[in-house]
Structure 1
Amino acid sequence: MTLQTTETTETVNKAYAQLAELDKKHFMHPTTSFKQQHEQGPKFIFTEGKGIYLKDIRGNTVIDGLSSLWNVNIGHGREELGKAAMEQMKKLAFSSTFATNSHERVIELAEKVANMTPGDLNMTFFTSGGSEANDTAFKTVRYYWQLKGQTQKKKIITRKKSYHGVSMGASSATGLPAFRTFPSLAPDFLYVESSIEALEALIQQEGAETIAAFVSEPVQGSGGVNPPPEGYFKKVRALCDQHDILFIADEVITGFGRTGATFGMEHYDAVPDILVIAKGITSGYAPLGGMVISEKLKNELIDLSDGVYMHGYTYSGHPMCCAVALENLRIIEEENLIENVRKMGAEFQKGFQWLADRHDVIGDTRGIGLLGAVEIMKDPETKTRFDEPVSVKVIEEALKHGLLGRSIIYEGQDTLAFAPPFCINKEEVATIISIIDQSLTTVLKRDC
């Protein structure tokens, strides 16, 4: 797809080339091959976004089929959030929240989050994103057990194929080995298969008296869009209670409506002791995350601690980010976007099933709300994979037809992942399914 433009092809190509050269020279990209960046430069240089669409400097328009990084929930181009940011910056651009200092927006947002979260999750420590929020949770649970005199309770159990971020602690907690290739990561993290039997066996092996917490995404995102086994989290909650282990839910991707409920854990009838948030709280319009703790945990920390909680980020509770979050949450509620997630999520699942009926290489389709995946196998019956991942080629082909998606090949997977903005409509869902179908057909005929 190409937008009409008054600029000549030569002009836009020249502008792209100049920026691409500066990009290669000066910008160190996250989660990118150094060689690929140096040799190829940026695939896109985006300049505009509207709804589910992004436009790059050369006039190419693509469907943002992954909400960029699972986070642009309300869609691109919402001027209300820019206005909220501007009004707040004009009034109070920044003030520290250290040492009991506060401001209006952070108080309002903390109350709003408390009203949205399940159970007695009631107090939020704000960060700049999900990695910081997870690190905060890990430090806090260990601090909690230290205050209780149980200093041996340091280990944190996480699931294999999990993703929790890329700061030191969050990388250490991530169950995907590819993210743990850096040397000297944090100690005392354990990884377990996604079965209650495996978790129970690990607790017995290590000793519950050494385990501080268990952390999990309600639905694994970067690990392959994997919903939990039936009844898994109710059993996790019971097991954590039995062994005096804190339960952390990482809702960075699933929070604020992505699954068709306000929080993913609501589908699984389990309330954690700590809930980690980011991404969807601002729909990516401003960097913000947080750790939400239970009323019980809050009261215990108050009773147990006489000293200072020596943890805080410069931008914890940034006024502008909080203002953007409040406006974002208002839009989600007033425009009934979570209801649209449920409706369009059902359309996606129908589309995925249609794809599975047409392509015998689709071994599995899965998802919840607007979080879905299609898994490719050479022989689904024997679960045999292709020699090279097909999903990578399908995503490359889909880009030619105007669709941004994600290929997940960690741990031998071959998965197409999609998580479009909440504002998507039925026709746009059909377009995405059609492009996936066309791209699969092309790749399978050409390369397989």
Structure 2
Amino acid sequence: MTQKQNVVNELTELDKKHFIHPTSNMKQLQEDGPTFIFTEGDGIYLKDVEGRKLMDSLSSLWNVNIGHGRKEIAEVAKEQMEKLAFTSTFSNWSHEPVIRLAAEIAEWTPGDLNATFFTSGGSESNDTAFKTVRHYWKIKGKPEKKKIISRKLSYHGVAMGATSATGIEQFHTFTTSIAPDFHYVDSSVEALKELITKEGADTIAAYISEPVQGSGGVNLPPEGYFQEVRKICDENDILFISDEVICGFGRIGTNFGIERFGVTPDIITMAKGVTSGYAPLGGMILSDKLHNEIIEKTEGNFWHGYTYSGHPMAAAVALKNLEIIKNENLIDHVNVMGKQMLEGFEWIKDQNEIVDNVRGIGLLGAIGLEKATKSADPIGPKVVSEALKKGLICRSVVYNGQDTLAFAPPFPITKEQMEDMITIINESIKAVK
């Protein structure tokens, strides 16, 4: 047995014994151990402990937007940690990186969304938004406005409030403690109107939606949907939260995804793309109107905060990440490569009868496989397995009879790399049909 194999075996056994994997099949992991133990990343590629090189067509978890292995990010993190690794931002304490980051984010946001509360990730960002909107209505003298409406197949995270807002059944049946006052609607204007009528607008605090649903299957909204939703929220005194954890900072070709649909929300929640995964950071961004009213009407403290709200190193990393996106014109590149990706998906559809539909916007796309509703054994996971053999990481999403292959490659992907990705996907689908 080689030294490399000894290392692989050791790490596999340690993993099985000591590491609880998130969103995973625990029994399967105990039997087989991890499929990949990654050691390096470079651009759109990952390398594992056995030396296998794979194209990362999902940016890991929709988040490594600027690509793997950017040394300038590591240098900024090192510099900040050497100077100031951590200090609290509670009460009247602050530090330069978080101040500058909050100001920089205000340059990216639409409308008057100019004030950010920082978190460690998307779940915390959405929980923060739910608590904040309920606090807002309480101090406005309307404490009965506490219900949150989200869309079926939405994903908003796995903290208690975030899980409760998520519209995917499996996340609800996992536990017995879903929070009250969360409601789910189909992705139609009529369904939203009906729910508001049924529950009463005077009991509803906010509506939350991803501009494009990610984990639920890369589902684009119906034409004109968000413009109508914005009107309905305004007419019924309901706050509009745009969950930009996946779509924010350029993923679908605009600074924030909701801008693509001509709408400005009251609140944006964000994470992933703000640091491209190089540090855990998220946030809730408030409009000036909400921010000023909360300041004016809150007596005493704003009783919400995390130890790592505004972590100095994470803030410094985020600033460098946003600088890279701007300086390298990566959002323009997203639109160019997104067009190529969608054209490639259309070509795959023409080549394969089992492909029912393709969809995409910016560098967020999906291939729908038509036999999902006709078989208890979906095709997507088999395609993913074939793609791995050919050196491509992609994701299968199987919910409510949908069988979807999801893609969100890193922003710097080249024309040649995109062609490679399309070729591997096509070959993998042909291998299992």
Fold shared by both chains (TM-score > 0.5): yes
> 1:11 offset after TM fit, Å?
2.3
Aligned to 1:250: 243
Q: Does 1:368 find its partner at 2:370?
A: no
Q: Does 1:186 find its partner at 2:186?
A: no
> 1:264 offset after TM fit, Å?
0.4
CA distance in 2 between partners of 1:34 and 1:98 (Å): 38
> 1:78 offset after TM fit, Å?
0.1
1:413 to 402, 410, 428: 402
- Post-superposition Cα deviations, 1:306-338, rounded to whole Å, max 9, x if no partner, equal 221110000000000000000000000001111
* Alignment check: 8 A CA contact 2:341 2:418 kept: yes
* Alignment check: 8 A CA contact 2:366 2:404 kept: yes
Query: Residue type of the partner of 2:48?
Result: D
Aligned to 1:195: 188
Aligned to 2:291: 298
> 1:10 offset after TM fit, Å?
2.3
Q: Does 1:311 find its partner at 2:286?
A: no
Q: Does 1:168 find its partner at 2:160?
A: yes
CA distance in 2 between partners of 1:87 and 1:119 (Å): 34
Aligned to 1:440: 429
Aligned to 1:61: 53
CA distance in 2 between partners of 1:258 and 1:96 (Å): 31
* Alignment check: 8 A CA contact 1:273 1:293 kept: yes
> 1:176 offset after TM fit, Å?
0.4
Equivalent position SS for 2:114 = strand
Q: Does 1:105 find its partner at 2:97?
A: yes
Aligned to 2:85: 93
Distance 1:384 1:174, change over 3 A: closer
Aligned to 2:203: 210
Q: Does 1:32 find its partner at 2:24?
A: yes
Equivalent position SS for 1:99 = coil
> 1:100 offset after TM fit, Å?
1.9
Equivalent position SS for 2:302 = coil
* Alignment check: 8 A CA contact 2:125 2:283 kept: yes
* Alignment check: 8 A CA contact 2:218 2:366 kept: yes
* Alignment check: 8 A CA contact 2:102 2:115 kept: yes
> 1:272 offset after TM fit, Å?
0.5
Q: Does 1:10 find its partner at 2:2?
A: yes
The alignment's C-alpha RMSD in Å is 0.9
Q: Does 1:339 find its partner at 2:317?
A: no
* Alignment check: 8 A CA contact 1:132 1:289 kept: yes
Aligned to 2:313: 320
CA distance in 2 between partners of 1:262 and 1:346 (Å): 17
Unaligned 5+ segments in structure 1 are 1-8
Equivalent position SS for 1:111 = helix
2:260 to 246, 267, 281: 267
> 1:148 offset after TM fit, Å?
1.0
> 1:91 offset after TM fit, Å?
0.7
Query: Residue type of the partner of 1:57?
Result: V
Unaligned 5+ segments in structure 2 are none
Aligned to 1:392: 381
Equivalent position SS for 1:31 = coil
Task: List, as ranges, runs of 4+ consecutive aligned residues in structure 1 with deviation greater than 4 Å.
Answer: none
CA distance in 1 between partners of 2:237 and 2:144 (Å): 13
Aligned to 2:126: 134
CA distance in 1 between partners of 2:162 and 2:183 (Å): 13
Q: Does 1:70 find its partner at 2:70?
A: no
> 1:385 offset after TM fit, Å?
3.0
2:116 to 109, 114, 124: 124
CA distance in 2 between partners of 1:410 and 1:52 (Å): 28
Provide the aligned length of Structure 1 versus Structure 2.
Answer: 432
* Alignment check: 8 A CA contact 2:253 2:363 kept: yes
CA distance in 2 between partners of 1:299 and 1:432 (Å): 48
> 1:384 offset after TM fit, Å?
4.6
> 1:305 offset after TM fit, Å?
1.0
Q: Does 1:235 find its partner at 2:228?
A: yes
1:329 to 322, 330, 339: 322
- Post-superposition Cα deviations, 1:219-255, rounded to whole Å, max 9, x if no partner, equal 0000000110001111111100000000000000000
- Post-superposition Cα deviations, 1:141-167, rounded to whole Å, max 9, x if no partner, equal 001011111111110000000000000
Aligned to 1:49: 41
> 1:36 offset after TM fit, Å?
1.1
- Post-superposition Cα deviations, 1:379-402, rounded to whole Å, max 9, x if no partner, equal xxxx95333110010001100000
CA distance in 2 between partners of 1:399 and 1:82 (Å): 29
* Alignment check: 8 A CA contact 1:377 1:386 kept: no
> 1:137 offset after TM fit, Å?
0.1
Equivalent position SS for 1:15 = helix
- Post-superposition Cα deviations, 1:282-310, rounded to whole Å, max 9, x if no partner, equal 00000000000000001111111122111
Aligned to 1:5: none
* Alignment check: 8 A CA contact 1:219 1:264 kept: yes
Query: Residue type of the partner of 1:428?
Result: Q
Equivalent position SS for 2:2 = helix
* Alignment check: 8 A CA contact 2:148 2:183 kept: yes
TM-score, scaled relative to structure 2: 0.99
Identity percentage of aligned residues = 61
CA distance in 2 between partners of 1:11 and 1:65 (Å): 31
* Alignment check: 8 A CA contact 1:176 1:411 kept: no
CA distance in 1 between partners of 2:136 and 2:159 (Å): 21
* Alignment check: 8 A CA contact 1:133 1:276 kept: yes
